[in-house]
Structure 1
Amino acid sequence: MFEPQLIKRFGFLIILLCFINMKTEGQNDQLSNAIEIEESIESIIAANPDLSDAQLNEITERLNAIYQSKVDINTSDLRVFTELLLLNDIQIQAILVHRNKYGKYAALYELQTVNSIELSDIKRIIPYLRPIGIEGVTPFDWNMLYKGNKTILARYTKLLQDQKGYLGDEPKYLGSNERYSIRFRHVVPGRVSIGFGMEKDAGEPFSRKYNDLFFDFTTFHIYLENVNKLVKRVVIGDFQASAGQGLILFSGYGFGKSAFTTAVKKNERSLRPSTSLNEINALRGAGVELNIAKNTSFMVFGSIRRSDGNAIIPDSIENDQEQIISSLQMAGLHRTLSEIEDKGYVKQITAGSTLKYAGTKFSIGINTVYDKLDKSLQPSDRGYNKYYFSGKEALNSSVDYTYFLRNVVLFGETAVNPAKSIATVNGALIGLHPKVSLALMFRHLPKEYYSLHGKVFSDQTATTNETGFYIGTEIKPSPRFVINAYADFYKHSWPTFQADGPSEGNSYLIKLSYQKRKKWDTYIQFRYQSEQVTGTNDVLIPALFSREKADIRFHFNRKVGNYLAWSSRFDYVHLILPGDNTENSYLMYQELWARPLGKPFSGFIRFAVFNVESYQSRIYSYEHYMAYDSRNLQFEGIGNRFVSGVRWKFFNGITIEASYNATKYSDRTAIGSGNDQILGNLRSEFRAQVRYGFGD
């Protein structure tokens, strides 16, 4: 039930803000652009709910980097806009065709004359576009290795309550409950990126006894782009590699089902530096992409890294006994003795290549990825793991294609693994009308197919055991009104983590968005999913039951005066579980941003209340704390949450930021479990960072 006192507070705030300065005299473009960036990030999160904090912050950094450097609409291939869900391939193709036919754009709002481009699309990308007439990226010069924009970022985070792992005479966690990191980056947009970083997570020891450089994790990269006619890209250090539609290789983040209903085609660059403090997804070594002929490129990379592995202790000790691991760990945390023992336990060698022809209308690529482990991987003896990769070596190969046919884009990839299992994904983007676009996607991932680096469009996170068909559409009845919808049908031919037998499911979404010029915008979104899961009946072979989940979201943004912005959201989830058990959960928040014109400071506050019955009906909410510091927070239980942040820019290039957040529960006397347990109903956190920007 809703808490009366909290509802009164929300009601008063809503009424007050609705009547403050209803007639706006001017708009703060910086504030509008900041909100656009936040909405772009949240759309990506919706398509990737399992993103780690490091991955999420990398996305934030990429969007902010594009915002700072800007994209030249008259010279760029605009591919970055599809990488970040800002436009789809049909829209990009329409912009390029218009440019080739009529010449360079004379003004950014000439985009309104392009088929498939509406005012809402322009509003979404305008923060990232360079004004017409301003010089863009200059040709590569070796001076760029030291002449460019430089940033030093130091960050500190501390949980203000004691967790069980830090208590006692011999605490389980060997380090303090503070998290700190330092990063340096030198950038010439579109040409050079050089950087390094060091991080200690909360609980990890800051000592040379466990880490030679004190910090638990260090990263480094040198990345050069368009060096000359031959060298398209070269990277040394930590990097990410991608190919095709993600069947065999996609070490960045992938896009799944979201309110961007036509964004189903992957468009990631083949090589990209790993600029975040991401301990898991990055490769470590070197890669190069060469232009070997007209419209033809060849990419090759090699990586050697130490991955965390869960060792299996044998029943007997023999000198020649093979060393075995049950899994490759993905947490990246090394706080306890057992976690430190697993750190870097497995040596993983990865190599790959892509030969790609990319013409104006057609492209095709041939891709291979090879992996070798120095210890044998033997997954746990559970039914759904039967066909998962086991052993030391794996070789995956694939062919991908893209074909442009007027207002249709056909694309896909077909791959084979060592088990000789063939997987395929194929799709189409269709411009039915300048105001109507359609996306179709078919995927067939046999239970015998596996890939250590795959990340394909599917309902699961694993690239295996799923066959499905997706249809999505985007309709723009007017320049300010947008309708997004999708339907997805899928089945699993083998047991999954949630179902002890073959299962199937379906999901649907519809989103209605409306924008009133620059004054306010709103959307309402409904999503429904039904899937078969194992029941809880106490029988030898539990039956499968349908679990149905319906959630609705209402979101409203309004500019209040020329320096304030207000956001309001309400999320509601209705869950039907086996045995006709139901759960009803909700979350709502109010957020206020302030960025006074001509002032060096800015800040925000957010207040939320939530009542979430269980983990199964959990609600996610994106939170931004400081620059390049965000989280996709999961809510469960009953309580309220407060978040605030402040930023102060000094004239000498220094920016200081701080943020405080606190969650108070009313349904429990302890928070968390195990070593992370807090005795009490309050969890609060302080975050701070200093940024120093300098250089040419």
Structure 2
Amino acid sequence: MKKGEIDMEQFVEELFSMQGNEGDYDEQYESLLQILLNPIHLNKTSPEELKSLYILSPVQINNFFEYKRLFGNLLSIYELQAIPEFDLETIYKLLPFVTLDENLKPKSSLLEKIPNEKDAYFIFRQQRVWETRRGFTAPDTLNGRITSRYLGDPNSLYGRFRIQHSKDFSLGFTVDKDPGEVFKWDRKTNRYGFNFLSYHFTMYNRGKWKAISIGDYQMQFGQGLVFGAGFSAGKGSETITTIRRSNLGIRPYTAALESGFFRGISATYKTGPIHLTMMASNAPRDGNLHISPMDTSENQTEIITSLQTSGLHRTPTEISYKNRLREKNLGGNLHFQSRKKHFQLGINSLWTQFSQPFFRTERIYNSFEFSGKNNHIHSLYFAYNFQNYFFFGETAISASRGTGSILGMMSSLHPKLSLSVLWRFYDRNFHTFYGNSFSENSRSINENGIYIGIHFKPNQKFNWSYYYDRFHFPWLRYRVYAPSSGHEWLTRLSFSPSKKTLLFFQLREESKARNISEYQGFQSSYLLDQGLKRNFVVNLDQRVDKVWSFKSRVTASSFQFGGKKTRGFAISQDVNIDKEKWRISSRFVLFDTEDFDNRQFIYERNVLWLFSIPFLNGQGLRYYFLAQYKISPKLSIWARYSRTLYTDREFIGTGLQQISGNRITESVLQLRYQFNR
């Protein structure tokens, strides 16, 4: 790995809980990469910016600003070594995200700078599964009807154009076509060539206007109860810094996910210690519409029965969902920061209106979910830094009168010992559409709990981290038809005898309730049993020299439910080569799991801007090869080939995604052209 570059694999595995549920991490990964593309200037930064990296502890941040107070601005990046508690491991993690380059300040007008900006590029990516899924075969008849099939080809296509200058401006667009979607210009079905188009133009630091954004954007203020976009890792082996959300303000939206962003205009104005942000959005959304069963009038009323967030438009049914409704948002933020930057106080407000009323199919577990046409949510948040203690919190109330609250603390009790504590409470009728606060659930609703994290580093060679999270769900949930409780804990012990070697052991336990009726034999829908899952990981990273490096890993798990215990494991070996213009990565994995609950998650390297944590379930072998070659200063190419071979099945997947056979093969080809290199 070249100096100043991030070891993305190690960084991601520390921040994300690798043995968690499969989720769509693309937006989180995208937000992390935006920080990499907009490095923080160490002589112009604030404690809030440094906290947003999830790298520095409270005592390290305090020592950084105390050093600057005593000795003035940093003259060299290597001066970080002179700051107390800044060890080499921390500095190496920090380097890719920071800069001292004064050339970041533009010296010409915006119109003159855009055509000559160094950070200007276009990326094009093609991705494909080579085995034929059922959705791409000829239709057959089922119950006298012709079954549905995908209308497009199996290729996934992605393109991104962007020109940006850190803390100055950013403009660009992203286009995306998923497998099975067809290129077609058809206004009746809201299709215009590529299935998805995202675009933005954002300016920063224009006098008192700190940010002005037009197009697609996100916002992050407080602890994510109202505006929760951006990078938020949650629970992982980094047990201290990841519990808190940072005030990152307005951020351009550049991901290919087709929901979770605003489309319109937003701006932040600064006057003294006050930042005022206003936003307005009118965005199309996918949804399933039906005629209200209660409406017997001639002009019948349509209602929304479900929002579709997959972004897939492959079949006539999926196409019928596209852009069927509009979502309007109007909101703002008022943020105060003290002169010494140790205290923050803010207010968030967001009003949301759907073009049709929203009424879900009624189930007991979703009785308190949002319904209607309008929602509004408001919150008050604070952050206070006292010596090596950092306190933060936010409380919010939605139109339903449901409330959500977070209160947390991070502390460096000793240069070698850190502690974090976080309490959260979300009512069963608390409704937030753009929140992304700390929670066990994927959404901030129907949950309360307390989290405690510890990090101990006795010397440069050893690291020990631990967290315990106790949570309770006061109302029913999907597949859990009674109030329930659970807990989760994780511990990791790392040993690094040199910069070239890292060995760690990790153990994680999670206890959650489920309906007993999911398993064989008739049971009451309201009887629960506690599922207990344990994961174990042992990992060895070894860098032989500047060219060769290896990673060996063993993961294992067990799951106990209903008096039955099942197990699973995976063994993987990586070989990586980094030489001049070439980067080559490879991995071979053997896996064997008794059921889906023991599926194994292992982060995989992929092409730039593509995130991959596949789950391995069943018995088989998986391998991949990834190559990157820098053809010229302007042009780079990536190619990836991966295959999973199963020994326990003749079909892979279900429905239209089903493959006849025991293997699945995928390729990725990506080109990046940098215009002004």
Q: Could you state the TM-score of these two structures normalised by the residue count of structure 2?
A: 0.93
Q: 1:457-496 counterparts in 2 under 5 A?
A: 457-496=438-477
Q: 1:284-323 counterparts in 2 under 5 A?
A: 284-291=263-270, 293-315=271-293, 318-323=297-302
Q: Does 1:328 align with 2:307?
A: yes
Q: Does 1:41 align with 2:16?
A: no
- Which of 110, 129, 132 is 1:162 aligned to? 132
Q: Does 1:198 align with 2:175?
A: yes
Q: What is residue 389 of structure 2 aligned with on the other side?
A: 408
2: CA distance, partners of 1:150 / 1:144: 11
Q: Does 1:55 align with 2:27?
A: yes
Question: Secondary structure at the residue paired with 1:271?
Answer: strand
Q: What is residue 176 of structure 1 aligned with on the other side?
A: 153
2: CA distance, partners of 1:281 / 1:677: 29
Question: Secondary structure at the residue paired with 2:380?
Answer: strand
Q: What is residue 581 of structure 1 aligned with on the other side?
A: 564
1: CA distance, partners of 2:374 / 2:239: 37
- Which of 115, 122, 138 is 2:105 aligned to? 138
Does the 8 Å CA contact 2:599/2:616 hold for their aligned counterparts? yes
Residues 212 and 546 (structure 1), Cα distance of their counterparts in 2 relative to 1, 3 Å cut: closer
Q: 1:153-302 counterparts in 2 under 5 A?
A: 153-169=123-139, 172-209=149-186, 213-228=192-207, 230-262=208-240, 263-291=242-270, 293-302=271-280
Q: 1:500-579 counterparts in 2 under 5 A?
A: 500-536=481-517, 538-578=522-562
Does the 8 Å CA contact 2:9/2:603 hold for their aligned counterparts? no
Q: Which amino acid aligns with 1:173?
A: Y
2: CA distance, partners of 1:539 / 1:638: 31
- Which of 594, 608, 628 is 2:577 aligned to? 594
CA drift of 1:640 comes to 0.8
2: CA distance, partners of 1:629 / 1:503: 36
CA drift of 1:255 comes to 2.8
Question: Secondary structure at the residue paired with 1:590?
Answer: strand
CA deviations 1:414-458 (Å, max 9, x no partner) are 111112222211001111011111111011111121211111111
Q: Percent identity?
A: 26
2: CA distance, partners of 1:588 / 1:136: 47
Q: What is residue 320 of structure 2 aligned with on the other side?
A: 341
Q: 1:96-111 counterparts in 2 under 5 A?
A: 96-111=65-80
**Further displaced range: 650-659 or 216-225:** 650-659
CA drift of 1:109 comes to 4.5
CA drift of 1:115 comes to 4.5
Residues 533 and 664 (structure 1), Cα distance of their counterparts in 2 relative to 1, 3 Å cut: same
2: CA distance, partners of 1:496 / 1:53: 23
Residues 674 and 253 (structure 1), Cα distance of their counterparts in 2 relative to 1, 3 Å cut: farther
- Which of 416, 431, 439 is 2:420 aligned to? 439
CA drift of 1:587 comes to 1.4
**Further displaced range: 623-632 or 44-53:** 44-53
Does the 8 Å CA contact 2:448/2:471 hold for their aligned counterparts? yes
Q: Does 1:355 align with 2:334?
A: yes
Does the 8 Å CA contact 1:255/1:266 hold for their aligned counterparts? no
Q: Paired residues, what number?
A: 657
CA deviations 1:457-481 (Å, max 9, x no partner) are 1111121111111110111100221
Does the 8 Å CA contact 1:40/1:85 hold for their aligned counterparts? no
Does the 8 Å CA contact 2:587/2:625 hold for their aligned counterparts? yes
CA drift of 1:264 comes to 0.6
RMSD of aligned Cα (Å): 2.1
Question: Secondary structure at the residue paired with 1:462?
Answer: coil
Residues 388 and 552 (structure 1), Cα distance of their counterparts in 2 relative to 1, 3 Å cut: same
2: CA distance, partners of 1:146 / 1:77: 31
Q: Which runs of 5+ in 1 are unaligned?
A: 1-27
CA drift of 1:332 comes to 0.6
Q: What is residue 74 of structure 1 aligned with on the other side?
A: 43
Residues 377 and 93 (structure 1), Cα distance of their counterparts in 2 relative to 1, 3 Å cut: farther
Question: Secondary structure at the residue paired with 2:469?
Answer: strand
Does the 8 Å CA contact 1:286/1:302 hold for their aligned counterparts? yes
Residues 212 and 489 (structure 1), Cα distance of their counterparts in 2 relative to 1, 3 Å cut: closer
1: CA distance, partners of 2:153 / 2:555: 36
CA drift of 1:147 comes to 3.0
CA drift of 1:319 comes to 3.5
Q: 1:582-661 counterparts in 2 under 5 A?
A: 582-596=565-579, 599-661=580-642
- Which of 67, 84, 93 is 1:124 aligned to? 93
**Further displaced range: 307-316 or 239-248:** 307-316
CA deviations 1:295-344 (Å, max 9, x no partner) are 21001111111111122355576443321122211101000101010111
Q: 1:7-18 counterparts in 2 under 5 A?
A: none
Does the 8 Å CA contact 1:352/1:369 hold for their aligned counterparts? yes
**Further displaced range: 249-258 or 381-390:** 249-258
Does the 8 Å CA contact 1:256/1:457 hold for their aligned counterparts? yes
1: CA distance, partners of 2:220 / 2:22: 19
CA drift of 1:642 comes to 0.9
Does the 8 Å CA contact 2:462/2:496 hold for their aligned counterparts? yes
CA deviations 1:474-494 (Å, max 9, x no partner) are 111002211111111111111
CA drift of 1:545 comes to 1.3
Residues 313 and 667 (structure 1), Cα distance of their counterparts in 2 relative to 1, 3 Å cut: farther
Q: Could you state the TM-score of these two structures normalised by the residue count of structure 1?
A: 0.90
Q: Which runs of 5+ in 2 are unaligned?
A: 140-145
CA drift of 1:583 comes to 1.2
Q: What is residue 29 of structure 1 aligned with on the other side?
A: 2
CA deviations 1:372-430 (Å, max 9, x no partner) are 00111112212221111100000100000001111111100011111222221100111
Question: Secondary structure at the residue paired with 2:604?
Answer: strand
CA deviations 1:599-652 (Å, max 9, x no partner) are 322211111111122222222222222111221212211111111011111225
Q: What is residue 694 of structure 1 aligned with on the other side?
A: 675
Q: Which amino acid aligns with 2:527?
A: A
Does the 8 Å CA contact 1:436/1:473 hold for their aligned counterparts? yes
Does the 8 Å CA contact 1:491/1:505 hold for their aligned counterparts? yes
1: CA distance, partners of 2:136 / 2:394: 49
1: CA distance, partners of 2:616 / 2:32: 22
Does the 8 Å CA contact 1:322/1:376 hold for their aligned counterparts? no
Q: Which amino acid aligns with 1:204?
A: E
CA drift of 1:677 comes to 0.2
2: CA distance, partners of 1:530 / 1:53: 23
2: CA distance, partners of 1:617 / 1:529: 12
Residues 364 and 656 (structure 1), Cα distance of their counterparts in 2 relative to 1, 3 Å cut: same
Residues 549 and 652 (structure 1), Cα distance of their counterparts in 2 relative to 1, 3 Å cut: closer
CA drift of 1:110 comes to 4.1
Question: Secondary structure at the residue paired with 1:95?
Answer: helix
CA deviations 1:505-549 (Å, max 9, x no partner) are 111111111223322112111111112222135233442211111
